[in-house]
Structure 1
Amino acid sequence: MQLVQEPTAERLPPRAFQTRRLLAGALQVGTLIGVLVLVAALAPGLGEVRGLLADASLSWIAIAVGLQLLSCLSYVLMFRPIFCHDRSWGTANRIGWSALGMGSIVPASGAAGLALGGWALIQDGVEPERVARRSVAFFLIKGSVNFVAVAVLGTAMAIGLFGPPVSLWLTAFPAALAVLAIAAVLLLPRLGEGTPAPADAGRVRRGAATARSSIVTGTREAIEILRARDPLVIVGALGYWVFDNAVLWAAFNAFGAHVDISIILLGYLVGQLGGLLPIPGGVGGIDGGLIGTLVVFGAPAAATAAAVLVYRVILFWLPLIGGAIGFVALRRSLAGPKPVTRHAARPRVVRERAAVGVGVAQRAA
């Protein structure tokens, strides 16, 4: 006879993921984006930007929305084989879209979204240790496409094989930094997992030991996943990056600005670093980083400001709407009784392991 576990308060979302706080976060980010729109519409000296926005091509904006949808679907495509290959596509869709929606309203470059996904997977019976490792692996695989692209494109542009002539500081230097970052990640497993913290160790020491073990083992798993050449992982990771870049490209075309694709691709990563700032939804950080980087690379200033504004509105609303639908479906799927899993008898361990990922989102929120 199969035992079942009735819903308990322990299976409710952590405080950072509760509906009221998520709605407050979405409202905050939406307000900030609204302020950016008002600045573009009313601030003096931005008449050229307003003129471009008024004459924007709706067909190109519709294309940009479709490309963003393909980017989101690529995220879910990559999410399932890495986190829950033994679960249904319905489960992967609910959790993956929820993670995307969380990433729209909380900073930390998508880490908060992965924390929400990790919590949901643990509630669905996945071992916390596996969730922690796979979260690191997913983050590295998703980000590796950016760094490899910068290394390749920066080198090609520096030696004149691709794109317009640009300073070596804007091509060779970012390429060198990307190569160093890739090398550092590949060397991480050599650090070893470290010694587990003793049972009487403090919370900080236990957290540091768990984080080191998760990062090292997660990096090792990321390398193994890539070596396995799972087509869903490869296509998902490439699609997420390519289509997101294509949204920005389509936004430029909506204003009649034909910016060289190499400028968009190389400026994309550098500009996205602004999303690391602890700002709700990255509003202001990503926007300023993208506009500044693209203008330095030679894109026209007014068209860049208009294109980035459209890009950011799409990047906020589409994942948020899809994420809200996914989160509601996720809450319903987790509300019913679940089979007792082999870690159900040790709830304290589950809570501590889950806190490693969830803590990022709680601090950010």
Structure 2
Amino acid sequence: MLAPSSPLPVKGPDAATIARRALVALALAGAAAVALVLAGRPARAIGDALDRALHADARWVAAAAGFEVLSFAGYVVLLWLVTGRATPRMDLRASVQVTLGGAAATRLMPTGGVGGAALTLWILRRTGLDARRAGRTLLTFLVLLYAVFLASIAVSGALLAAGVGAVRGPLGLTAVPAALATAGILVPLGLGLAHREDAVPATGRVRSLARLLGAAVHDALGLARRADPRLLGALAWWTFDAAVLWAMLDAFGAAVPFAVVVLAYFVGQAGNLVPVPGAVSGGIAGVLLAFGVDADLALVSVLGYRAVAIWLPAPFGLLALGALRHTVARWAPAAA
């Protein structure tokens, strides 16, 4: 039987609070659109974008919705694989609830993924795991997930910097992100390969964090060696979500090289680290504009992508938060 977790000072997921913030975000987006129109200068581009939106290819829009469902399926099975090894309470049902609830917490608030990660950590603690084991489990999951993220930036950036496929981009948007992503892969990989379970505990915050990251990478490498098919969930999460952007570009008639779509998507996602509404959309649109995509096409395609990626899963996420509370309540008597 699992040991009961100690009471946590962290509050549980609050669906009502997230819903209120979603309404605020909608109001701000509407106000921003009105301000842009009143400004006059971008009115033509916005008008062209709206005209394209009214003539979108419905088949591609439906495909985008399907891609987003497949993306979430990938996240669910990867979370199930990693957390299920740490505690049997994180079964497939709980993984679905945490994934959708985390999406509501993350995508309705620009927190760089912290909302979903905080929710996952809170749930892992409620399953009975101690703080260090819960943190190591979450970090192992993030290592597997973001290894694909960094590798995609490294590969697409290097290809575009070298002009492969007759498309060459500015070094600041290609070679620099590729180099940073490569470093982001090699440094943790080195920590993971050097990790030893019997090593003397590290002292100091930086060393402790480095040791924890090394332990998580070590666990991730162990999972990779097992070749569990659920590991493909990391690839599915990013691939199908990026495919939503690709589908929306096609829905509005934009012919954009595949490598450009990949780079725009992943570099744009890095904008989620900036706690400002619209950072991701602006990042993706900015890369597309830098590669010569028309302003109205970039605008309507990115807004279409964000509409599918945010508002399609959001209602289900709010429902999942309520279901997650009941799941945690059922765990409490068993732990006691």
Common fold by TM > 0.5? yes
- Does residue 334 (structure 1) correspond to residue 328 (structure 2)? The answer is yes
Question: In structure 2, what is the equivalent of residue 354 of structure 1?
Answer: none
Q: Which residue of structure 2 lines up, in the alignment, with residue 200 of structure 1?
A: none
Query: Match for residue 246 of structure 1?
Result: 243
Give the partner amino acid of 1:243.
Answer: F
Q: Please say if 1:284 is aligned against 2:278.
A: yes
Partners of 2:200 and 2:288 in 1: CA distance? 42
Q: Give 1:163 deviation, angstroms.
A: 5.3
> Contact 2:15 / 2:321 at 8 angstroms: preserved in 1?
no
Change (3 A) 1:323 1:162: same
- Which is worse superposed, 126-135 or 42-51? 42-51
The residue number in structure 1 matching 2:28 is 32
Change (3 A) 1:26 1:156: same
The alignment covers a number of residue pairs equal to: 326
**TM-score between the two structures when normalised by the length of structure 1:** 0.78
**1:325 CA displacement:** 1.9
Q: Counterpart of 1:162 in 2: which secondary structure?
A: helix
Verify: 1:102 aligned to 2:105, yes or no: yes
Normalised by the length of structure 2, the TM-score is 0.84
Q: Is the 8 A contact 1:67 1:244 kept in 2?
A: yes
Letter in 2 for 1:223: L
Deviations along 1:131-159, one digit per CA (max 9) or x if unpaired, are 20121122222111122122222333344
Partner of 1:82: 82
Identity %: 30
Alignment-mate amino acid for residue 18 of structure 2: L
Which letter maps to 2:115? A
C-alpha displacement of 1:238: 0.6
Equivalent of residue 124 in structure 2, options 97, 121, 126 = 121
CA 1:267–1:194: 2 relative to 1, 3 Å: farther
How far, CA to CA, are the matches of 1:105 and 1:211 in structure 2?
29
Partner of 2:304: 310
Equivalent position to 1:263, from 260, 264, 275: 260
Query: 2:116 is aligned with what amino acid?
Result: G
| Residue equivalent to 1:68 | 68
Relative to structure 2, which stretch is displaced further, 214-223 or 113-122?
A: 214-223
Matches of 2:162 and 2:3, distance apart in 1: 63
**Alignment check: 8 A CA contact 1:194 1:209 kept:** no
Say whether the 8 Å CA contact 1:71–1:240 is kept in structure 2. Answer: yes
For structure 2, the residue ranges without an aligned partner over 5 or more in a row are: none
Give the Cα separation in 2 of the matches to 1:215 and 1:21: 32
1:4 deviates by 11
Tell me which amino acid in the other structure corresponds to 2:305: Y
Structure 1 contact 98–117 (Cα < 8 Å) conserved? no
Tell me if structure 2 keeps the 8 A contact 1:72–1:100. Answer: no
- The 1:39–1:243 alpha-carbon spacing in structure 2 relative to 1, beyond 3 Å, is farther
- Listed one character per residue, the Cα deviations across residues 312-333 of structure 1 (whole Å, up to 9, x for unaligned) are 1222112312211211111112
Between the aligned partners of 2:195 and 2:215, the Cα distance in structure 1 is 10
Counterpart contact for 1:170–1:297, Cα < 8 Å: no
